[in-house]
Amino acid sequence: MSSPTEAPAVTVLGLGPMGRALAGAFVNAGLRTTVWNRTPGRAAALVARGAVSAAEAQEAVAASPLTVVCVVDYDAADSVLRREAVTAALRGRTVVNLSADTPDRARDAAAWAASHGVRYLDGAIMTPTTTIGTPQAVILTSGPADLHQEHLPVLEALGGSLTHVGEEIGLAAAHDIALLDIFWTAMTGYAHALAVARAEGIGARRLAPFAQGIAAILPPIFAEMAGQVDDGDFSGEESPLTSAASSMAHIAHTSEAHGIEAGTMRAAQALVRRAIDEGHGGDGFTRIAELLGRR
Ligand code: NDP
């Protein structure tokens, strides 16, 4: 426990756009914030606001009981944390790794931490830099619940909802992968739609309000489909796969007629076609999740 006059300390390793946002939120919350980045020179604005810039990662780690890591991926995180001097400085301290990577890399990092006396929580940031320190931030953690609770008073400076999604260390990364699966597929669809619309003489700004309308119908569909997937309910009376296949074919044909590749839509169409060929043409889109999930 810190004394009333001494604010808790936290260290941030990695000062890319997200690392700078995290460190900035800690500084704004009045925490004693130490920062380090592989390439020097990224800390000036934070130092001007009260952060301490460490010359070496081990020095940064030694300054706080809690180190938040936010670098591009786990190869980068490992290359910092697994340096002998850094590992030695981390013994008995906590690392919260908010870098993005796969569930397996999170498990590997936790095993390494356990074998080196480092207390370890994994995490995933689900919202952009501008949300950090605001109610809009969404951050997930996984690993020991008591470690999450212990560091919550400091981590809460990052704002928004900080949710512990489970003890299994890979769970934060697993949520991240699933949610980014939605995000990147949707972004690819939007980029493709803008290209097709443009080829048909519709400017992006003209399409945008209608595109937002399409996006807005998705949340209730997501909720309904989730219940159906969990219950094994594939009913598709209102919107059968045969209808989806026809719509997808129109999109692919129109794209290709303009010389615009339609690989993403063709892949989706192939999945729907497989389900129809199996006799599931009257089912709803839930059937695609079942088909993809077979192992
Ligand atoms: P980047 O993903 O580009 O990461 C940049 C940081 O990684 C810099 O500090 C960089 O150091 C460091 N880095 C890269 N390679 C190495 C290495 N080999 N050794 C040490 N450090 C290295 O930018 P962000 O800050 O935006 O993202 C950080 C993490 O946050 C990523 O995993 C990202 O997916 C995640 N995230 C980011 C969001 C965003 O909106 N930006 C949103 C949600 C998650 P250097 O300056 O020396 O190159």
In the predicted model, is pLDDT for residue 104 greater than 50? yes
Span 260-276, average pLDDT: 98
H or E segment to which residue 270 belongs: helix 263-275
Smallest CA separation from ligand 1 atom 42, residue: 128
**pLDDT per residue over 31-49, tens digit each?**
999 999 999 999 999 999 9
The residues lining ligand 1, judged by C-beta closer than 6 Å to any ligand atom, are 14-19, 37-39, 42, 70-73, 76, 79-80, 99-100, 125, 128-129
The alpha carbon of 148 and the centre of ligand 1 are apart by a number of angstroms equal to 23
Position 293 scores a pLDDT of 94
User: What mean pLDDT value characterizes the chain?
Assistant: 96
- Whether the pLDDT of residue 75 is over 50: the answer is yes
pLDDT attached to residue 5? 59
Please determine, for residue 1, whether its predicted confidence score (pLDDT) is greater than 50. Answer: no
Res 2: pLDDT: 47
Rounded to a whole number of angstroms, the CA Rg of the chain reads 23
Q: What angle do CA 33, 39, 42 make, to 5 degrees?
A: 50
Task: Identify the pLDDT of residue 165.
Answer: 98
Q: Is pLDDT of 28 > 90? A: yes
Tell me 33's DSSP state: E
Domains of the chain, start order: 9-166 (3.40.50.720), 200-292 (1.10.1040.10)
In the beta sheet, which residues pair with residue 235? 283
DSSP 283: B
Mean pLDDT (whole number) for 152-163: 94
pLDDT of 237 reads 85
Q: For residues 184 and 172, give the distance between their C-alpha atoms in angstroms, rounded to a whole number.
A: 18
What is the C-alpha to C-alpha distance for residues 151 and 67, in angstroms, rounded to an integer?
10
pLDDT at 6: 83
Q: What percent of the chain has pLDDT over 90?
A: 95
d(CA 165, CA 27): 26
Please tell me the least confidently modeled range out of 79-83, 228-232, 235-239, 260-264. Answer: 235-239
pLDDT at 229 over 90: yes
Atom of ligand 1 nearest to the CA of 21: 25
